[in-house]
A and B are shown apart, each in its own frame.
Chain A
């Protein structure tokens, strides 16, 4: 019974394993336990879906950062840099 609980309710471990499994193979047993959990647990299966969407949205993040930098350095600093690069 306790083992069943561990498989069905352990979102903490499963959501971590799900992220890990995208990068490295899990042991047969871990993978089986994870898949059983994901089959029953809407929270975790939604977490995994949303996590993949987040990954997708981050794909061009660095590239786009030059066009739209989220932070701007001060003009003061830029002026100083220009002086130093002469």
Chain B
């Protein structure tokens, strides 16, 4: 049975929750607000904690719900769909050769990364570069990318939360994967 220790929340989880919120919003102030709301909701609702998950998981799920509200608001002002449409041709032109049926403009070769083992991929050096490259993604793409690959959410759920169709969802996933891969390659990893 897990117990809550609110007196140690700030020391144990602030940076973690803040990092997650900052990556998902791209804004320092918004990230702080979300962490604050998370802590306060958790504190108020601490009697409802049943102890079947860890404290960290519980706090993470509260933040996740705060983020859902955040995107709902954000999406009414700046729909993700509009962003995708507005940037599609620039992205395609940069990456693919439309005159040649859409071939990759730059060759993708096997490389250091392809040959490196799991030890390296899960090691510290790689993690730093991965952090950098994730942070370099446009935040609109990153938030969907993280939901899928880092937070392990279901696609249907992600579409609903971000107000996008399944086909736009795949456009975002595709673009963010291409950008992340290219960044890792540029850093000499790939």
Cβ A77 vs Cβ B32 within 8 A = yes
* Contact digits for B16-39, partner A, Cβ 8 Å, 1 yes 0 no: 101110110000000110011001
Q: How many angstroms from the CA of A57 to the CA of B178 in the assembled complex?
A: 16
B70 at the interface (CB under 8 A from A): no
Nearest B residue to A12, CB-CB: B102
Cβ B16 vs Cβ A65 within 8 A = yes
Cβ A71 vs Cβ B15 within 8 A = yes
Interface positions of B from 106 to 145, Cβ below 8 Å from A: 107-111, 113-114, 118, 121-122, 126-127, 130-131, 135
* Contact digits for A47-86, partner B, Cβ 8 Å, 1 yes 0 no: 1011101111110111011101111110001100110110
B157 at the interface (CB under 8 A from A): no
Chain B count of residues within 8 A CB distance of the other chain: 62
Cβ A47 vs Cβ B14 within 8 A = no
What is the distance, in angstroms, from A6's C-beta to the closest C-beta of chain B?
6
Cβ A44 vs Cβ B150 within 8 A = no
Interface positions of A from 1 to 42, Cβ below 8 Å from B: 5-6, 8-13, 15-16, 19-20, 23, 42
- For A11, A23, A51, A64, the residue with the greatest tally of chain B CB atoms inside 10 Å of its CB is A11
Cβ A11 vs Cβ B114 within 8 A = no
Nearest A residue to B36, CB-CB: A81
Q: How many angstroms from the CA of A78 to the CA of B104 in the assembled complex?
A: 47
Given A42-B109, A46-B114, A61-B150, answer yes or no on A73-B14 (Cβ-Cβ < 8 Å): yes
Give the residues in chain B near A61, CB-CB below 8 Å: 130, 149-150
Which secondary structure characterizes the binding site on chain A? Answer: helix
B68 at the interface (CB under 8 A from A): no
Cβ B18 vs Cβ A71 within 8 A = yes
Give the residues in chain B near A65, CB-CB below 8 Å: 16, 19-20
Cβ B108 vs Cβ A77 within 8 A = no
Interface residues on A, range: 35 or more
Given A16-B171, A46-B114, A81-B10, answer yes or no on A9-B39 (Cβ-Cβ < 8 Å): no
Q: Chain B interface (Cβ within 8 Å of chain A)?
A: 6-7, 9-16, 18-20, 22-23, 31-32, 35-36, 39-40, 43, 56, 60, 92, 95-96, 100-104, 107-111, 113-114, 118, 121-122, 126-127, 130-131, 135, 149-152, 155, 170-171, 173-174, 177-178, 180-181, 184, 190
13 extra interface residue pairs, beta carbon distance < 8 Å, beyond A8-B101, A60-B122 = A11-B102, A11-B103, A19-B170, A43-B103, A47-B108, A50-B108, A50-B181, A50-B190, A61-B150, A69-B18, A70-B23, A73-B14, A84-B40
